[in-house]
Chain A
Amino acid sequence: MNYIPNILFAIALIVGIGYFAKNVKKLIRNIKLGQDVDVCDNKSQRWKNMTLIALGQSKMVRRPVAGFLHVIVYVGFVVINIEVLEIIIDGLLGTHRIFSSIGSLYGVLIGAFEILAILVFISVIVFWIRRNIIKLNRFWKNEMTSWPKNDANYILYFEMVLMTLFLIMNATDLHFQDLNSGNVISQYIAPLFSGLSEDIIHLIERGAWWIHILGILVFLNYLYFSKHLHILLAFPNTYYGKINPKGQLNNLEAVTNEVKMMMDPNIDPFAAPAEDAPMPAKFGASDVQDLSWVNLLNAYTCTECGRCTSECPANQTGKALSPRKIMMDTRDRLEEVGKNMDANKGDFKDDGKQLLDDYITREELWACTSCNACTEACPVSIDPLSIIIEMRRYLVMEQSAAPVELNNMMTNIENNGAPWPYNQMDRLNWKNES
């Protein structure tokens, strides 16, 4: 017996999965750089959201064309992975199509895989056309620089190649074709190879088999570097996504404590703060570490589809703000911080940069109307608005750097209890006017 293929296969598998695991660890470390938030509440609602939105793709299908195609690719991806299981067992044990022993059901399964494979192939082509020929507006906005554009296309090419290899692998498997069960699509591809000798056909089959599984391992490892991470993170992300009414912004506990101290006549305002009272480092966010870890998970989950940006009123009217860019910038900065830590033995060394100004400009932040169109549009429950608000908080509470008009508005509220310079005592005047 020749065990070399089995050993090579095992090595490929270990390297592929090992490298992926290493990156997953890094991913988790980076997400944990964010501030802690309590997300232990309402478990049943959270499970429901995950089931509907991630598993059930409920928000994807709000845009019917993209939604429909995406469901095909998604179902295809999940189902065809059963075949990968067989490939792995075959590869390790040196068997061939080990599941075929289950009898006629095997034909049904492979038949279904083949149909899905061809549907996925067609869908991916349509996706490619939408991006590159029709040039849908949302795929060509400013933040879609060369890498995001290429990334999206690479994934499409990957899927085309993987699906082709799967079908060729079946078409050149003479034994499988002889069974004539389950080769619904590949029987039409098989004749292409009929002129070749059996040895060559067998070689092609082996080649397709190997490239297919190696391709899958490469793809697995590509995820971390790509917007395609959403295929995994969509699940935790929809689970941890916001469940409060969209209009509700979070309450800053640290501020509540200070306000209580100020308003409570029993507390001596000049008393030294208790030794163990934790002072918040700062209010709001100027860099990724100040955001919550859910914000950071959001950033890694963003699939750069641009649905948020295409619904954003500021973006639609030509402002610099794009909620997708907010998410992409957050991820890019987080990756930069992560690399910095890798280079410095796990500690972050100040690099003189931050999320604010170096990535996200003030002009973008102040253009937001807090309308929640972006959060409503996002198919995976990402909340760009909460990042915008955290960064405004930093600008206002740490830097007093609000636009002049907003400072005037806030001074008015402080002095007259209204955003305009009216006298509080005139509040009821409407009653006596006709």
Chain B
Amino acid sequence: MAEFMAQGKQPEVLFWVGCAGSFDDRAKKITKAFVKLLNKANVEFAVLGTEESCTGDPAKRSGNEFLFQMQAVTNIEVLNAYEVKKIVTACPHCFNTINNEYPQLGGKYEVMHHTQFLKTLLDDGRLTVEGGKFKGKRITFHDPCYLGRANNVYEAPRDLIQKLEAELVEMKNCKRNGLCCGAGGAQMFKEPEKGDKDINVERTEQALEVKPEIVATGCPFCNTMMTDGVKVKEKESEIEVMDIAEMIVQAQDL
């Protein structure tokens, strides 16, 4: 972003990478896949790089409003200094926080989830998608809570899967009835309370019921949870857990 600023230019969109997308080995692959697509579509985008910091989502959901607001205010200062108007992110948690919780603290931007953004690129003809190796495959989509119920985005990711000419199969709990992967509300960072099962295993079992070849996700945390669930069920040789951006990249052989 600093480079754009130095040249006195504004990028079309700011890609908010998020902590998982920046540091987590699995999620970094999603980041790179999405960047490939942005380049392919000739989108002039910027990232904040080392000036980006956690949005504060896990702090807020743990009840630490102080830490959340410190993070938010710091991020908003950076974003406003760069006069950012439009943000895209591959993390529904970042998406929700920036979109819904930053405005009251002075950060007002147009925020899109990467599946929504990719959808507009397709609709505008800037990116074309063919099924490639996904043609006819059975794919089920796991709705991230913070994209679906939290913000009512259900169709964009499904539209993309359909563009891959894949067979989209729905789990018994989908869309607004989708079952959580177990990571939200800062659960990602702690052991679950005692119970008789882990939530990600329960969700994976729901996915296995519809016998998919691929479990598609739109969230780095869901991705981790579902990948672990598939491992617990010892199905990792049959079922892949992939972000939709990765699927589009692989379909195009990028």
Contact = CB atoms under 8 A, between A and B. Distances in A.
Interface of A: 244-249, 251-252, 255-256, 258-260, 262-263, 283-284, 311, 313-314, 316-321, 363, 366-373, 376, 389, 391-397, 402-403, 405-406, 408-410, 413-414, 417-420, 422, 424-431, 433
B22 A427 contact: yes
Nearest to B97: A247
User: Range of interface residues on chain B?
Assistant: 35 or more
Contact of A419 (B31, B54, B60): B54
Contacts of B71: 413, 417
Interface string B38-71: 0000000001011011101011111111110111
A246 B180 CA distance: 14
B197 A369 contact: no
Nearest to A257: B69
A392 B194 CA distance: 18
A182 B150 CA distance: 51
B195 interface: yes
A247 B146 contact: yes
Contacts of A420: 19, 23-24
Contacts of B185: 368-371
B186 interface: yes
A414 B53 CA distance: 10
Contacts of A414: 67, 70
B120 interface: no
A430 B31 contact: yes
A434 B97 CA distance: 30
Contact of A371 (B17, B62, B184): B184
A366 B99 CA distance: 25
A326 B192 CA distance: 19
B208 to A, nearest CB: 16
A369 B145 contact: yes
Nearest to B186: A406
A422 B23 contact: yes
B73 to A, nearest CB: 6
Nearest to B28: A430
Interface string B9-25: 00000000101011110
B73 A313 contact: no
Nearest to A311: B177
A397 B65 contact: yes
Given A248-B96, A372-B149, A393-B65, A319 B194 contact: yes
Contacts of B182: 313, 369
Contacts of A389: 61, 63
Interface stretch (B80-88, B100-108, B154-162): B100-108
Contacts of B191: 405
A323 to B, nearest CB: 13
Nearest to B61: A370
B66 A259 contact: yes
A418 B53 contact: yes
B151 interface: yes
A258 to B, nearest CB: 7
